[in-house]
Structure formats: structure tokens, C-alpha cells
Structure 1
Amino acid sequence: MAEYGDFSLKFSSEFFEQLDEKELEEIIAAIETDGEGFYDITMDVTKNETEHQLISSKNSLIEHPMTLVAEAVTNNNNNSVGTGPVNFEAASGNTQRFKKLTEEDLKAIEINQYSDATKRNTKWGIGVFNAWCIEIIGKKLDLNTIRQDELSGHLRRFYAEAQPKNVSSRVTKMPADQAQEYHKNSLINVRAAINRYLKDNGKDIDIVKDKEFKNVNSMLNAKLKFNLKSGISRPTQHYQLISLDELGKINAYLQKYDPVALRFKIWYLLAIHFVTRGIEFHHQLTTTSLKFEYDKSGMEYITLNHETLQKNHQGGVDAKLEETSDKRMYSTGTNTCPVKSVKNFLQKCDKEAKALFTQCSKESLKSPEFADKWYTCEPVKPKQFSSFMPDICKNAGVQRYTAHSLRATAIQAMSDAGFATRNILFMTDHKHEESLKTYSRRPSTEQKQLISSVLENMANGGQDQSVSDPNTNSSFAADQNQQPLINSPIRISNTLIAQSFQHSNTQLCNQTKHMAGFASNSTFNDCTFNFKLDN
């Protein structure tokens, strides 16, 4: 204990683990306001360790009547005092405040800004280009020293001549002429990989935007158009949407009360409610990641108390501040309540476990009704998460889907429900509306059936009254907010019109309603819509 005026300082060996960064900042602000001369005091205490016997370790806690945490930095050269974290190494003669990193350390930090998938893509793209160089030019090009004009000439030929390997195996899956050509996205990815490689190795070259590569990109564009005109351009395959019928079967399986099904259920609920990719998101969660809160109306919900690294959220200075900050999974008060399920799951987890998803114990797999804890402390490996959705589908007796299909279905559901694009972007972590096109602008299978029926009836001059009824188990309501398929009026079956409204969940009422599609930026107040069906 040391007394300086109104201050009483005591050093404890316990480290203030429970204080977060914000709390520390508030404490420091209190010190600066109320503790005049405090830094001089702490310097005196630090420099006289033997005399005062105050410092027990470099993680000592400084206590004041209002729990103060001291900040001081020692500069032995001029004995000056500055603000910053307490540097206890300074007391033992180490005056260095900042790290000293080698060039290799700096490069490692820069490389780690990319996801593992991006790193693999870069390696693959450079490999394709190097293979072309060896076969056509006879040697690998040194991209670290190559001139812009030389690289430009080689890339122009490469874009026109590149083709995939293992063509013999590809012809079993697609027509022979298509098997000999890269998909348009593959060529674009190769270009991005080369550009990324040049940037990471300090080259001030942008093969996408620099005017020196205008002819190169013109060749790439012409090549893709040539493939399309020649009928050898393959369409992009999007992730399949899951129908309501199949979702019902999946939900029925997840009601089973055993270790495997319960773990699958929590994974499934978090994937849907936080609209995430199942592989990269779940393995970052710990037993303390989920926070239980109540909103102003008293409804309980679960949110995340930290950010997670995902494809659309890699952090950095340009990252949105609200990423994953307030996505919520609300309690429903029903037997299938997601919040209740999560609480039940946490009770079955080992208290010593750090990861949220861990391996099932052997005892629980044999006799779950007699096992108090169902899960061990060993975390589920990241690659194991890729099999979760396929395993769920297999156990539920539905066709095989991936975690991305579940995400796509969730996005489609929000779009069909009429949520504003900005709200969907918040949930998906996409940065631009264009990114949602592959999700929310695709009609479901049942909607495509309805569209086809409308067009077929039009082709028959409105004479066909026996329009087939689309499957009533539609994934989601037909999008009544899309622009008309045609602008001129066409007489179609009254039965079909009635069915189209029957299949939608649209409610006409006197209230303010925000719509999706072309009317996403419009607001209708107290409007009455009259639809007249001619007999």
C-alpha cells in the first residue's frame, strides 16, 4: 500500500480479465479527470519496485477506491511520462513499446487478409496461367519482373487459348464442345487471381482497370461472346431452393431428441436465422458467443456478442459497423421455440468446452436418456460442418442439399415475403443489391409452373380453360410484386387468376405496405385495389 495525497494504491496479483476494452477506456477517462498527478504517482511506484514491494507480476492490478487502472509508458532516455497501457517490461529495463516485425511477418499479415477459399483460388488461377506459359511459351514467366507490355501480350493470347484439363472426364458430364471450354466465371476468376497475385507481390499493375490492358480485356470479352454465339457457353448453376414440403420433413426429423439430431437442429436454426454459410460461420462460435436479451416489448431473443469472419465480411477498414451486430433469433413460445432449443442444447454441453459445437460423447450415443452431458470438449472440425446439411437431408428422407441451398432458401423467403432490399442486405451481409439478384429474383419451381401456365394460356389465345393447378405446396407465395410479364392486356382463365391469388399470401387491407420488386422504393398509404374478373 502506498499513499499519495488522496490516493491509496494497492497492487493485486489478480488480472482484470472481466474488464473489456470499453470499460478500460471509461476507467482511464475517470483517472484523467479525477486523478491529478496520477501518472507521476504510478511512475514513482513502478520505478521503486523494491522499496514499495508493489509489483507482483506484469499483470498487476492497480486499485483505487473507485477501481482505477493505471496507464503509463516509461521512456528511459528522457524520463518522460506519456499515456498508454502500463508497460511492466519498462520497469525491468525493456523500454520498447512497439513490436518489431520482419518483412516476412508483414507479408504474413497481408496474406492473411484473404479467406482460405480466396487463397486456393489464387493458387489455382496462377497454376492455370503457369501451365499455359510452359506449354505455349516454353517457360514460366516471372510475374515479379515482367514488363507491362510483355504481360499484356501474353494475357491476350492466354484468354483466347485457355482450356481446362481432363477434358476426357468432362465429356461424360457435358457436351464435348462445352467440355473443352472454361465456364465464363472460371476465366474471370483466373484473371482476378493473377491480378491479386501481382498486387500481393508489390507490382503496381491492375490488369482489370489499367488502360495498358484494355486490349487484353477486350479479348476476354470477345472470347466469352464468341462462346455464347457458338452455343458452347454453359449457364451458371445456382443453388437449389428447398421446398416447403421438404423443409417440413427436415423439421420433423430435427424434433428427435438425441445428441446428433439436437446438434443438427441448433446448427440448422442458426444457419437460417442468421442467414449464414454453414461451414465458415459455425466453427467460429463458442459457448459464450450467443447472448440472450429482451427487447423493449419484453420478447426474448438470441443475438451474437462478437463479429464472425465470413465471405461477405472479412473485416478491414471498409467493413460495415453493423455487421452481425443485431441479428436476432426470437423466442416463439411454442414447442419448437428456437431459443428454448438453444438453451436445452447448452445444458447438454460440457461446462469446460470452449467451442459451441463439439463431438458427441460415446455414452450419449449409446444411452442418451441416461447421459447428463451429451457433448465433449473436442470441437467439431471445420470440414465436418460441410456434411451437416447433406446428413440432415439423408436422415430426413429428402434430396441432397448443401448449406448454401439453405441460405438461398432463407433469402428467397425474405424476398417473397416483401421485405425491403436494405433489410435483406443487413441479414445477408451483402454490400450491394446486385449481389442479391441470384437469390431473390429467381422464381421458385412452383412460380415457374404458374408462369408457364400463364404463357401457355396466352399462346392458345385464352381458350384453354383446363390450366394445370400448380403444386399447392409451393416454397413461397407467388411474387405479386413483380412487373407484368407483358404490357398489353390478355384475356386468360378466371380460374387461373383466382388460383394465383389463392397461392399467394398477399393480404389487402387498409394499412401502409412496403412491397418488393419494382415497388421496393414505393409506399402505398390507405389504398384500395379493385380487381374485376370478367365472366
Structure 2
Amino acid sequence: MIETDLGHNDFEWLPTDELDSVLGNFCAALQTKDGQEYSKSALVGIRAGINRHLTSPNVGRIINIMKDREFMASNQVLTGLVKSLKREGKDLSTHKEPIEDDDIGKLYASGVFDETKPETLQNKVLFDIIGQFGHRGREGLRNLKKSSFVVKNDAKGRKFVQMAYNEADKTHHGIDCKENVKAPRMYESNDEFCPVRSFEKYSKKLNAKLDDFFQRPLIKVTENDETWYAARPVGINTLCNFMSTLSREAGLSKRYTNHCIRAYISTKLFTAGFSNRAFMSVTRHRNEKSLTSYIKPFEDEHQAVSRALYPSSSVVEVVNPEKVTLTVTTISSNSIPPSTGNST
């Protein structure tokens, strides 16, 4: 608010109607440092950030600037900005690509998930948690505690890990009763990659003096040491850059981000035939329409699509060296016969 020269250093305490007016003017004046328009995702993110600030314990306003009718005017300003970006072709926001299957194989073969070392064991557990529980925000990861998880057995005696509560993140604030139905489980697999086994080992090696779930790994330890981690939490930037770091260390084909894990899980579950409700419980989406931005073809599927658009050798008949008969059957209705062309 201060940077846009709106003159409201204490905007948090303005009456609702005045706050709506200030927010509308703020949105209309938003530009990057070099004078460019923000993308749609950036605009929505800024609004969500302001809402988190207003409802934080330090401020404590019981409002929702994204949904309450009292803020309809300011939200209409933001909606107008988004429509303007689309009209002018300036909405260049992109969604993350899923991790390729070949790169998943490299991760497990490279040693970055080695369970005999503190740092790589933490890599394995962090990767599993992002994938199995749909974590995307660095704040959500940073705020996880030892008490955030519980290990249980289902009615058939199969062991699994579950969140002890629906912790708040950027879109889930732990106050919506609808979130209670979203309780993903991370089941044991009883193989060398079992996520429950690595989770339990990691939990036992944590420092008893710190409640944070992600603690800084110690350098020199042995398998018999009770503690593998220091009484200091992992930094938020380290968590944010986790997948980027793994991409470099494992020699992956491209630099991935944490969000790419989520895209991989969404695409994998979709291609495996799971219902939208099933993988919404993992990805933590509230709206089925938002799933489409995460479901993208893998590179092998891109290649398969490309190949399908070209005639196969079986439909090409060489009559003589100077004459080739080419028959291509196109994808069309039954009323349209296949085309035949001769070239000399």
C-alpha cells in the first residue's frame, strides 16, 4: 500500500467500505518495478497475500476480501484487469510440467534418496510428502511439525501415514468443514522404496530438542547414532528450491520445481484412470476445473501423438522406382472416404 502511494500505513484497521475502496485503487495501480502489468497468477497471489495478512494472528480481522460481498467492487477491479490481460494477449502465466518418468527413475538411481545418510533420507521423505500429501507452498512445508503426522493401520492391518490435521496453506485455511473429507494416506509398499519405512526412520532420527519436522542434517553420523539432525530448522529457501537442487544433483533432463511434483502426481493418477475425487484428495484442489492445468502429456505421449499424425509404412506401396502410390486414412466421419493420391 505504501509503495503505491495510497497513503494508508494502517489500512488493516480501516472500516470495510473504506478498505474495499483502497483495495480497488491498489489493484488498479499495480505494476512491476519496470512498469509492466502483473500476470493473472501474480494478481491473484497478491490479493491472497493481503487476505492472509489481514486474517493473521497479528491483525485478526474476521473477513475474506476474496469472497465477502463487501469487497465486490475491489474484486471487480481485479477481474477487469485479468480480462484486459487476456484481451491484449498479455496473460503469459504458465503451469509447471510434470516430471518425466525417465527422470523419476534417475532420482531413485542417483543416490539422492539414499536412506543411509541424513541429507538424502530427508530428500526422500520430503519428496514423498510433497507428492503424497499435495504440499506446494514453502510456508506449508516450513510450518510442519513432528505432531503434524500420525502413523495408523487400516481395518486390514495395512500401515499408513496421515496428516494429523488439515494444516493451512495458501488455499486451505483449516476452517472449512469440507476439507475434512480430504485425508490422503501414504501407505507402506513393502519394497525398497517404501515411503512409510523411510518416514519412520527419519522421524526416529530427528532431534528431540526441536519440534520442526524438517531439521538441518548433521554431517558426520553413523547408522547407530540416535540423532541425525541438528536443533535448527531447514531454511524456507532451501525447501522452496528443493526440487531444483535435486534436478542438478541427480542430473535430470531439466530443472524442475516443487510444483512439478504435484503436476507429476496429477498426470500420473489421471492416466491411471482414477476419479477426479480420488486425486483431488491428494492434490488438494477444490475445483475439478483447476485440475486440467496440471494434467499434461509426458514426452513419450507427445511423440506418440506426432507419430499418429503421419502415415505408417504399411499404407505406402512402392509401385516402381518412378511411381509411388500413397494411401492415407484420415480421422473423419464414416461418410468421408479415405483419400488416395498418386505422384510421379
The answer to whether residue 231 in structure 2 is matched with residue 380 in structure 1 is no
How do residues 512-527 of structure 1 correspond to structure 2 at under 5 angstroms? Answer: none
**Cα 1:243–1:195, aligned 2, differ >3 Å: closer, same or farther?**
closer
The answer to whether residue 142 in structure 2 is matched with residue 283 in structure 1 is yes
Residue-by-residue CA offset, 1:34-57 (whole Å, 9 max, x unaligned): xxxxxxxxxxxxxxxxxxxxxxxx
Match of residue 263 from structure 2: 408
1 CA distance for matches of 2:226 and 2:308? 58
The answer to whether residue 248 in structure 2 is matched with residue 394 in structure 1 is yes
- Determine which of 308, 313, 322 is the counterpart of 2:180: 322
- Determine which of 295, 300, 304 is the counterpart of 1:446: 300
Match of residue 166 from structure 1: 34
Q: TM-score, normalised by structure 1?
A: 0.48
**Cα 1:274–1:226, aligned 2, differ >3 Å: closer, same or farther?**
closer
Cα contact 1:183–1:234 (8 A) shared by 2: yes
Match of residue 289 from structure 2: 434
Cα contact 1:278–1:385 (8 A) shared by 2: no
The answer to whether residue 39 in structure 2 is matched with residue 183 in structure 1 is yes
1:166 maps to a residue whose letter is D
2 CA distance for matches of 1:400 and 1:240? 10
Match of residue 33 from structure 1: none
Cα contact 1:425–1:431 (8 A) shared by 2: yes
2 CA distance for matches of 1:190 and 1:295? 41
Q: Matched residue pairs, number?
A: 306
Q: TM-score, normalised by structure 2?
A: 0.72
- Determine which of 420, 425, 446 is the counterpart of 2:280: 425
How do residues 57-68 of structure 1 correspond to structure 2 at under 5 angstroms? Answer: none
2:140 maps to a residue whose letter is F
**Cα 1:166–1:255, aligned 2, differ >3 Å: closer, same or farther?**
same
1:183 maps to a residue whose letter is S
CA-based RMSD of the aligned residues comes to 4.2
Local SS of the residue matching 1:291:
strand
1 CA distance for matches of 2:122 and 2:82? 47
- Determine which of 230, 242, 260 is the counterpart of 2:119: 260
2 CA distance for matches of 1:242 and 1:181? 30
**Cα 1:487–1:425, aligned 2, differ >3 Å: closer, same or farther?**
farther
**Cα 1:236–1:446, aligned 2, differ >3 Å: closer, same or farther?**
farther
1:411 maps to a residue whose letter is S
Local SS of the residue matching 2:232:
strand
Local SS of the residue matching 2:231:
strand
1 CA distance for matches of 2:48 and 2:198? 43
Larger radius of gyration: 1
Cα contact 1:309–1:315 (8 A) shared by 2: yes
How do residues 291-310 of structure 1 correspond to structure 2 at under 5 angstroms? Answer: 291-310=150-169
**1:247: how far off?**
0.6
2 CA distance for matches of 1:425 and 1:447? 23
Residue-by-residue CA offset, 1:500-524 (whole Å, 9 max, x unaligned): xxxxxxxxxxxxxxxxxxxxxxxxx
Cα contact 2:116–2:223 (8 A) shared by 1: no
How do residues 432-511 of structure 1 correspond to structure 2 at under 5 angstroms? Answer: 432-440=287-295, 442-455=296-309, 457=310, 462=311, 488=333
Cα contact 2:137–2:169 (8 A) shared by 1: no
**1:262: how far off?**
0.7
**Cα 1:145–1:370, aligned 2, differ >3 Å: closer, same or farther?**
closer
**Cα 1:359–1:350, aligned 2, differ >3 Å: closer, same or farther?**
same
How do residues 206-217 of structure 1 correspond to structure 2 at under 5 angstroms? Answer: 206-207=72-73
**1:446: how far off?**
2.4
- Determine which of 79, 82, 85 is the counterpart of 1:224: 85
**Cα 1:187–1:333, aligned 2, differ >3 Å: closer, same or farther?**
closer
- Share of identical aligned residues, percent? 27
1 CA distance for matches of 2:41 and 2:156? 48
**Cα 1:249–1:431, aligned 2, differ >3 Å: closer, same or farther?**
same
1:227 maps to a residue whose letter is E
Local SS of the residue matching 2:138:
coil
Residue-by-residue CA offset, 1:289-335 (whole Å, 9 max, x unaligned): 3322222222111222223112231122x3424255x3211111112
Contiguous gaps of at least 5 residues in structure 2: 55-62, 317-329, 339-344
**Cα 1:355–1:245, aligned 2, differ >3 Å: closer, same or farther?**
same
Residue-by-residue CA offset, 1:152-183 (whole Å, 9 max, x unaligned): 9x96xx85x9754326xxxxxxxxxxxx5543
Cα contact 1:260–1:360 (8 A) shared by 2: yes
**1:430: how far off?**
1.7
2 CA distance for matches of 1:296 and 1:275? 25
**Cα 1:236–1:487, aligned 2, differ >3 Å: closer, same or farther?**
farther
Match of residue 9 from structure 1: none
Cα contact 2:137–2:170 (8 A) shared by 1: no
**Cα 1:203–1:238, aligned 2, differ >3 Å: closer, same or farther?**
closer
Match of residue 60 from structure 2: none
2:97 maps to a residue whose letter is Q
Cα contact 1:280–1:310 (8 A) shared by 2: yes
**Cα 1:162–1:420, aligned 2, differ >3 Å: closer, same or farther?**
same
How do residues 35-184 of structure 1 correspond to structure 2 at under 5 angstroms? Answer: 126=1, 130=4, 164-166=32-34, 180-184=36-40
2:128 maps to a residue whose letter is L
**1:275: how far off?**
2.1
Local SS of the residue matching 1:384:
helix
Cα contact 1:313–1:319 (8 A) shared by 2: no
**Cα 1:194–1:227, aligned 2, differ >3 Å: closer, same or farther?**
farther
**1:421: how far off?**
0.7
2 CA distance for matches of 1:147 and 1:331? 53
1 CA distance for matches of 2:127 and 2:210? 21
Cα contact 1:291–1:305 (8 A) shared by 2: yes
**Cα 1:464–1:127, aligned 2, differ >3 Å: closer, same or farther?**
farther
